[in-house]
Chains A and B, each alone.
Chain A
């Protein structure tokens, strides 16, 4: 009898916990819907478009002739096909890497200047976040369609997959520690299973995102950097090969998902 009561009590509190978690999730969802019509990311998109068209850099030209993979000047639906192999650079590039490439080759920036301060912090806002918001918004509603036809694309995918499962650091963490199983949470934060198609699509197609808690648009490069920080790894260099390889793996796994970013996140 006592055991039954105990079981009932335990059961009750477990349900309270689960219900609370569910309520929190519902509240976040409700909040999201409430402000979905006015995602502040749109301000970043507009600013990014302005920067894209502005004559800048030592050569005083805009980024309008930048080739994001679909030909010079084509922004529409470029993001859903990235990362991809670019012959002119003989390298697989994600969006941010390609933007840096265009800033260097078209506008004449030094690579170190083009890559400086890619993420906003308390002291400054990063132009890169606005440019990324502008370009990605031009893919809204289109399906992810990342190819692995070039041998270098296949290599990057394969290396990205290895990285995803690579356990290291003082805590033995890999990406898969948090993102390898269904229906897992850190505290009350739901974690997508990035090895399962549906979750992979939902996660990848909602980055970049305006983070309410950080009052800025965060890019996919930022997302990876901050994951590795929490993994207790060293600092992932902006537009490094490893960042592109992992992006290749995750973007390709999201193929078929409808792109819905810049999104809105807590």
Chain B
């Protein structure tokens, strides 16, 4: 090893040691990774109580949730992990005969944020709450930005059979196209009905929808 190379190696090992020390101070872990996972699940199960429709079974993770929980925002998920999830989730999508419903009904579903909370009664309407995270129509100014803007979604893509299938599929199971997405798997997890998902597909694609004006 030449002298300059040694210096580089020395400096980088010092930097690494410093970083490790800082990380150690910040995180200060005392449990092994496996033990921490086991204790977390155990602690959560003893810390929540079932209420209304929210049973303790909701704390149990499926494979997608368990895998995705291991990666924090900004952390790259290995390609093979992503592909494995996407392939399995895509294979489980069930498409109805009619992919596009009514955009007016879709707009109501997109605006509704209730459903599935322990405070929701059995007859509380279940919505998709799209506007919480996405811009859709330009009339609605109260929209979030966790997801991308969907304004002119259909105008930019058209309404071909393939686009309808993609759009319905993405609503049905976002993880089939983008593993570990923040977007709920509305069909896969039985949050929305087939008709509601077709109505949302129309909201996004119908040329008459406010999304495409």
Contacts and interface: CB of A to CB of B under 8 A. Distances in A.
16 contacts: A17-B141, A154-B29, A155-B39, A169-B58, A171-B116, A171-B191, A174-B69, A177-B182, A180-B73, A185-B144, A187-B142, A188-B144, A232-B54, A235-B49, A242-B44, A242-B48
Interface string B102-137: 000000000000001111000000000001110100
A246 to B, nearest CB: 9
B2 interface: no
B47 A176 contact: no
B30 A151 contact: yes
A237 B47 contact: yes
B118 A234 contact: yes
Given A148-B28, A233-B58, A241 B43 contact: yes
A235 B40 contact: no
B12 interface: no
Contacts of A166: 40, 44, 61, 69
A41 B54 CA distance: 33
B48 A173 contact: no
A157 B190 CA distance: 34
Contacts of A176: 72-73
B49 A237 contact: yes
A20 B135 CA distance: 13
Interface string B150-175: 01100000000000000000000001
B83 interface: no
Nearest to A152: B30
A243 interface: yes
A180 B72 contact: yes
Interface of A: 10, 13-14, 16-17, 20-21, 148, 151, 154-155, 157-159, 161-163, 165-174, 176-178, 180-181, 183-189, 191, 195, 228-230, 232-237, 240-243, 245
Contact of B118 (A21, A165, A235): A235
Contacts of B119: 229
Interface in B44-62: 44, 46-51, 54-56, 58-61
Given A154-B28, A159-B40, A186 B141 contact: no
Contacts of A17: 135, 138, 141, 143
Contacts of B64: 172
A234 B48 contact: yes
Contacts of A180: 72-73
A234 B31 contact: no
A168 B119 CA distance: 18
Given A17-B143, A170-B58, A170-B184, A159 B72 contact: no
Contacts of B39: 155, 159
Contact of A195 (B31, B68, B73): B73
A176 B182 CA distance: 9
B59 A232 contact: no
A184 B28 contact: no
A128 to B, nearest CB: 18
A148 B175 CA distance: 37
B142 A172 contact: no
Contacts of A195: 72-73
